[in-house]
Chain A
Amino acid sequence: MVTKSAEKQQPSPSASGKSATKWIMTLLSSSLGQKFVMGITGLLLCGFLVVHLAGNLLVYVGADAYNTYAHDLHSMLLLPVAEVGLFLLLFAHIALAFKLTSDNRKARHISYHEKQSKIEEPPSFFGKTPMGRTSSWMFLSGSIILIFLIVHMIDMKLHLNPAVTYTVETPEGVIEADPYSIIVQVLGSWSAAVYIIGTIILGFHLSHGFWSAFQSLGLNHPKYTPWIRKFAILFAAVIAIGFASLPIWGLFIH
């Protein structure tokens, strides 16, 4: 007991308060601080998803609407800044996920012979999966989404999908194909399968992540938390169905 506690002594609180930046470091290295960052980045990424989905749904309006949107978006001066920001958000979210998951594995260094949940009623469709409740496989769902994102980047950013023709020959020479034709090709290609799986898994991820972010940020209230939890399901469903509809449309309808 005595020796144990000596091993696990924290530095005296007075020493930690002195430096102007030290408190930030303690905050960011603490379990709660890291969860806080997870929550904030997650919610901001949710915001991005809403904008992204709204833009993409213009596909259904028609080629012109979509092309205009894409053109206007890409001519925004601040777009690269926003993209860097988005990348940083994603990076922080993913890096922390790896760090926290590794810490968590260490905390349960020996696993149980048998483990069963004591939660009786899963809250929704998203709660019942072969892997158990959504909350228990967030790292897995996140990893699948990461693979999906990589494919998505290859398709849409790096333009390396072999099944897609990214250029068109015009009398003026070879120019980039219009965004609508690219998206139609991508959604009709083998990537579509990855997109369908990826967006559905994203829905699972959000159904827990959206609500969970509020919990991690300490934003709970007996009156509002039940609504946030319901909204998380709705939000996850809208995002998943909205995005998944695109490859389905690309594959079967268009």
Chain B
Amino acid sequence: MAEAATTVLNSRVPEGPMAEKWDRCKKEMKLVNPANKRKKKIIVVGTGLAGASAAASLAELGYQVQSFCFQDSPRRAHSIAAQGGINAAKNYPNDGDSVWRLFYDTVKGGDFRSREANVHRLAQVSNNIIDQCAAQGVPFARDYGGTLANRSFGGAQVSRTFYARGQTGQQLLLGAYSALMRQVGAGRIQLFPRREMLDLVKIDGVARGIIVRNLITGEFEKYSADCVLLCTGGYGNAFYLSTNAKGSNVTAAWRCHKRGAFFANPCYTQIHPTCIPVSGDYQSKLTLMSESLRNDGRVWVPQSPDDNRRGNEIPDSERDYYLERRYPAFGNLVPRDVASRAAKERCDAGYGVGSSGQAVFLDFRDAIARDGRHAIEAKYGNLFHMYHKITGEDPYQVPMRIYPAVHYTMGGLWVDYHLQSTIPGLFVLGEANFSDHGANRLGASALMQGLADGYFVAPYTTGHYLGSQNLPSVSTDDEAFAEAMANAQDRNAKILGVQGTRSSDSIHRELGHILWDYCGMSRERQGLETAMGKIRDLRDEFWSSIKVIGQGEQLNQNLEHAGRLADFLEFGELMVRDALVREESCGGHFREEHQSPENEAMRDDENFCHVTAWEFTGVGNEPVEHREQLEFVEVPLATRSYK
């Protein structure tokens, strides 16, 4: 592997004490006067928590905003599916929480691979998010006196999670969506649903517009702007089976990468421990069961690998509560990456349950005996109902079967403190960027980050960008637009032109298997090298034998999927490469070569305390590796221990 390029990635983190950095940054920012704001055009791609909140906030400031999403309505972005909650350092329960503690927990939970200053800012603005959302009418759970309720979540030792039943993501997104729609009504946002971004337009090295395909008519459209905000989510669907929505994809981010935006830490993927196991080859996606279940459920497998009895028929003496056994201090509440790997370890050793052997039990028997069925129903009723509906089994009677599944991706386009990518004028928000969660994301932090970026960070930093640039006006008649449009059109035409035999679904499933087997919960050199070759072969297979039915000039879901798959096939290789060069175990990235004798992950801070940011050099070519050294000043490097 080539040595990392010496380019220093300038993260633009302000000087000064950690707690003052964001204030200092804001103090030094340039402002755009209100009259000029009206003349500035901003494109926001994606309408999830980050995109909707950014579009609304920027429009409220007076900018002309154009908002794009591939769904039929901005309200359907996949942020909607988050169940658990959103963290904030309000310290309402008076249990000792603070901005610093939320910051500390997030840095530690991220296994020391996030950028301290970004995380601190996230913790700082977390309280404003709750204020904003409550004012928008997000129906957060309340105590009887009418004040906001909190719960503890994802192994945090304080109760700082705000929630709206099991639908927190939905309610927060509807809040942001309502703010967005208010601006649509006011004429300050132009909405473009059912549009898929297929290229970024750069003029003089600066992001100035996008090319989209109108998914209904199949027409390609050009839009110019003064800057572009990419809020397009993560790349979990590279694995085919994930808890992401079927439409979630890496295309927009990947096309920006191909235009020069560095991709950081693509190997960091979060495998969520509590999902409903795969039931057959036809499976199209996986369903997450909220992590909050682990507050009351106990995870176990039979002590004997050949035990085929139903879960409720196995006596306690023949059960192995392996999380409680291995991690007595945290028990069933260990972080996601630890819980996921422990489940895989048991299943690989032959103790898995269910017809596939790829599942463990999550048992509520003791909780029901302790608190009564009614109490459990009040807390988890909707989740139990969902489980029953999907599996046909009643979790009040028999233990649930769960297995880890790809859930979230911590990696993403590299951004500096201003959330600007390596392409000036291209800002990346939410899951699509890499900065805040390091190698592992804590529960209830994704919603927090999306909204922090959209409501409270991007409106400032994009303003600063626009205020400090003297951007010439551009029109979509510029030849850069024609070139990008031709590029996007050619790619689609090429896909349509192959006329082979294989369906996009079958190839995508194959890619998913490769990534899951070799670059999933645990990775090792040889496997990763094998995967690299297999992905290249599969990519060749795609371009020689894909068959897309129908035309490009119409609604064609087959073509949409094939286009996204083509990008996943290029991206997958980068993910594997990144996993290969990161020769340590950290967070969601577990290298089998780097584990303790007790099978715990071993980080290598001496050699890998950095962000790996990849520069695209052409499909099939070796990308250039850049590094951003990470410094931990406030939270000294330490080994995570949940024993």
B and A form one assembly: yes
What CA separation (Å) do A1 and B72 show in the bound complex?
Answer: 10
Chain B, range 182-210, C-beta contacts under 8 Å to A: 190-194
CB-nearest residue of chain A relative to B191?
A1
The yes or no answer to A2 lying at the interface (CB within 8 A) is yes
Chain A, range 176-194, C-beta contacts under 8 Å to B: none
Minimal beta-carbon separation of A12 from chain B (angstroms): 11
What CA separation (Å) do A182 and B597 show in the bound complex?
Answer: 106
Please give the number of chain B residues whose Cβ is less than 8 angstroms from any Cβ of chain A in the complex: 5
What CA separation (Å) do A230 and B62 show in the bound complex?
Answer: 55
Please give the number of chain A residues whose Cβ is less than 8 angstroms from any Cβ of chain B in the complex: 2
What CA separation (Å) do A31 and B192 show in the bound complex?
Answer: 30
Inter-chain contacts of A2 with B (CB < 8 A): 190
The A-B contact count (CB < 8 A) is: 5
Inter-chain contacts of B193 with A (CB < 8 A): 1
What CA separation (Å) do A1 and B190 show in the bound complex?
Answer: 10
Inter-chain contacts of A1 with B (CB < 8 A): 191-194
CB-nearest residue of chain A relative to B192?
A1
CB-nearest residue of chain A relative to B194?
A1
What CA separation (Å) do A2 and B193 show in the bound complex?
Answer: 10
Across chains A and B, which 5 residue pairs bring their CB atoms closest together, nearest first? A1-B193, A1-B191, A1-B192, A2-B190, A1-B194
CB-nearest residue of chain A relative to B184?
A5
- Interface 1/0 per residue, B293-309 and A, CB below 8 Å: 00000000000000000
- Interface 1/0 per residue, A68-85 and B, CB below 8 Å: 000000000000000000
- Interface 1/0 per residue, B279-305 and A, CB below 8 Å: 000000000000000000000000000
Inter-chain contacts of B192 with A (CB < 8 A): 1
Inter-chain contacts of B194 with A (CB < 8 A): 1
What CA separation (Å) do A193 and B518 show in the bound complex?
Answer: 82
> Interface residues, chain B, CB within 8 Å of chain A?
190-194
Minimal beta-carbon separation of A1 from chain B (angstroms): 6
Inter-chain contacts of B190 with A (CB < 8 A): 2
What CA separation (Å) do A1 and B181 show in the bound complex?
Answer: 14
Inter-chain contacts of B191 with A (CB < 8 A): 1
Chain A, range 1-46, C-beta contacts under 8 Å to B: 1-2
What CA separation (Å) do A1 and B193 show in the bound complex?
Answer: 8
Question: Could you list some 5 contacts between A and B, CB below 8 A?
Answer: A1-B191, A1-B192, A1-B193, A1-B194, A2-B190
CB-nearest residue of chain B relative to A2?
B190
What CA separation (Å) do A2 and B66 show in the bound complex?
Answer: 12
Minimal beta-carbon separation of B548 from chain A (angstroms): 26
What CA separation (Å) do A216 and B432 show in the bound complex?
Answer: 47
Minimal beta-carbon separation of A3 from chain B (angstroms): 12
Minimal beta-carbon separation of B494 from chain A (angstroms): 29
What CA separation (Å) do A2 and B191 show in the bound complex?
Answer: 8
What CA separation (Å) do A2 and B190 show in the bound complex?
Answer: 8
Minimal beta-carbon separation of B193 from chain A (angstroms): 6
Minimal beta-carbon separation of A10 from chain B (angstroms): 11
What CA separation (Å) do A30 and B368 show in the bound complex?
Answer: 52
What CA separation (Å) do A73 and B191 show in the bound complex?
Answer: 66
Minimal beta-carbon separation of B52 from chain A (angstroms): 17
Minimal beta-carbon separation of A160 from chain B (angstroms): 59
What CA separation (Å) do A2 and B187 show in the bound complex?
Answer: 11
Minimal beta-carbon separation of B581 from chain A (angstroms): 45
What CA separation (Å) do A2 and B189 show in the bound complex?
Answer: 11
What CA separation (Å) do A1 and B194 show in the bound complex?
Answer: 10
CB-nearest residue of chain A relative to B214?
A1
Chain A, range 160-208, C-beta contacts under 8 Å to B: none
What CA separation (Å) do A2 and B223 show in the bound complex?
Answer: 15
Minimal beta-carbon separation of A188 from chain B (angstroms): 61
Minimal beta-carbon separation of A103 from chain B (angstroms): 25
What CA separation (Å) do A79 and B519 show in the bound complex?
Answer: 89
Minimal beta-carbon separation of A20 from chain B (angstroms): 27
What CA separation (Å) do A1 and B192 show in the bound complex?
Answer: 7
Minimal beta-carbon separation of A9 from chain B (angstroms): 11
Minimal beta-carbon separation of A61 from chain B (angstroms): 58
CB-nearest residue of chain A relative to B216?
A1
Minimal beta-carbon separation of A5 from chain B (angstroms): 9
What CA separation (Å) do A2 and B216 show in the bound complex?
Answer: 14
What CA separation (Å) do A2 and B68 show in the bound complex?
Answer: 13
What CA separation (Å) do A51 and B625 show in the bound complex?
Answer: 90
Minimal beta-carbon separation of B545 from chain A (angstroms): 36
Minimal beta-carbon separation of A241 from chain B (angstroms): 43
Minimal beta-carbon separation of B337 from chain A (angstroms): 42
Minimal beta-carbon separation of B181 from chain A (angstroms): 12
What CA separation (Å) do A1 and B191 show in the bound complex?
Answer: 8
CB-nearest residue of chain A relative to B72?
A1
What CA separation (Å) do A2 and B192 show in the bound complex?
Answer: 8
Minimal beta-carbon separation of A77 from chain B (angstroms): 56
What CA separation (Å) do A1 and B221 show in the bound complex?
Answer: 14
Minimal beta-carbon separation of B441 from chain A (angstroms): 34
CB-nearest residue of chain A relative to B190?
A2
What CA separation (Å) do A1 and B216 show in the bound complex?
Answer: 11
What CA separation (Å) do A67 and B502 show in the bound complex?
Answer: 89
CB-nearest residue of chain A relative to B195?
A1
What CA separation (Å) do A97 and B194 show in the bound complex?
Answer: 39
What CA separation (Å) do A96 and B193 show in the bound complex?
Answer: 38
What CA separation (Å) do A181 and B175 show in the bound complex?
Answer: 71
What CA separation (Å) do A1 and B71 show in the bound complex?
Answer: 13
Minimal beta-carbon separation of A180 from chain B (angstroms): 64
What CA separation (Å) do A1 and B69 show in the bound complex?
Answer: 13
Minimal beta-carbon separation of A166 from chain B (angstroms): 65
Minimal beta-carbon separation of A201 from chain B (angstroms): 41
What CA separation (Å) do A4 and B193 show in the bound complex?
Answer: 13
Minimal beta-carbon separation of A97 from chain B (angstroms): 34
What CA separation (Å) do A18 and B325 show in the bound complex?
Answer: 74
Minimal beta-carbon separation of A78 from chain B (angstroms): 52
What CA separation (Å) do A148 and B194 show in the bound complex?
Answer: 54
Minimal beta-carbon separation of B294 from chain A (angstroms): 35
What CA separation (Å) do A250 and B115 show in the bound complex?
Answer: 92
What CA separation (Å) do A100 and B262 show in the bound complex?
Answer: 60
What CA separation (Å) do A2 and B194 show in the bound complex?
Answer: 13
